[in-house]
Amino acid sequence: MNQVISTIRCLLPGVLVVLTACAPLASQQTEYPAGRVRLALPAGAWEDLGASDQAVRLLPQPDGRIALQTRTLGLRGAHQELLAVLRVQANRGNDWQGPMLWTGNCPPQQGVAVEDATVGSRVRMDCLRFKRWVDGPQWLEKNQPDLAQWLAGHKLAVSAPYSYMSYRYATEGGAMVAVEVLADQRLLRPKTRNNAEFLVAGRPALQWGHELAQAVRVSTGMMDGYLAIPPFPYAAAVP
């Protein structure tokens, strides 16, 4: 009997090691709520810049409205410079009811790469937009005035030149998630040394946009709305 007990005692530490190895690892991502969305951010010095609630009118119901919440976050660099601003807007809860008609789907725009996966559908949105080079506030004020006014009101400015990315996804049943990103170009494009490299420098950013779009689509099917923002393709070098 004593020999059996001694054997168990010898095996027990190994068993504990196995159990510890099987335990789930704690998430390394910082999370914030944005309406029904559980927003998980990649590694970095992110800060919460606040949330706001909106009620958007929708057709075909004469008094139809959908409750949304927007959360804005900022990514700081090594010297506290603002490298990126991320805005996520989503349904306040899981109680949406369709059918719903969405307007302003995905129009083409000069100087902006636009991908419309719904081909102009009135009952769905799946729209990715990318402006590679934004070298000042004028373009933002003209094309995204709400975001420009919000930044000015909070006395915030992303390091220029920066890029603009947006993705909007909505279903006939009423689910909606919209993401807007202003990002220092060092986060999205590699350094270029010749014309050939310059011409393809936008590919990593578009690939990142496709990964973002896929994450948004997946989140609308999750009960907790889990939305993992993919890490930027590059880390901004310290100047």
**Burial, 141: exposed, middle or buried (Cβ in 10 Å; 0-12, 13-18, 19+)?**
middle
Is the bond into 99 cis (omega within 30 degrees of 0)? Answer: yes
- In the chain, the amino acid numbered 149 is Q
Is the bond into 62 cis (omega within 30 degrees of 0)? Answer: no
Length reported for the chain: 239
CB atoms within 10 A of CB 164: 21
What does the pLDDT read at residue 104? 63
Structure pTM? 0.82
Q: Residue-wise pLDDT tens for the chain (239 aa)?
A: 444 444 433 443 343 333 333 333 334 468 999 999 999 999 999 999 999 998 877 665 656 678 899 999 999 999 999 999 999 999 998 876 767 777 667 889 999 999 999 886 777 899 999 999 887 778 999 999 999 999 999 999 998 889 999 999 998 888 899 999 999 999 998 787 878 777 777 889 999 999 999 999 999 989 999 999 999 999 875 44
Q: Give the DSSP H or E segment for 116.
A: strand 113-116
CB 47 within 8 A of CB 73: yes
Long-range contacts, stretch 206-213, CB < 8 angstroms, 24+ apart: 206/113, 206/130, 207/233, 208/165, 208/232, 208/233, 209/128, 209/130, 209/165, 209/167, 210/128, 212/165, 212/167, 212/179, 212/181, 213/126, 213/128, 213/167, 213/169
| DSSP conformation class of 115 | E
* Residue 63 backbone dihedrals phi, psi, to 5 degrees: -110, 25
CB 29 within 8 A of CB 229: no
What does the pLDDT read at residue 60? 58
| DSSP conformation class of 41 | E
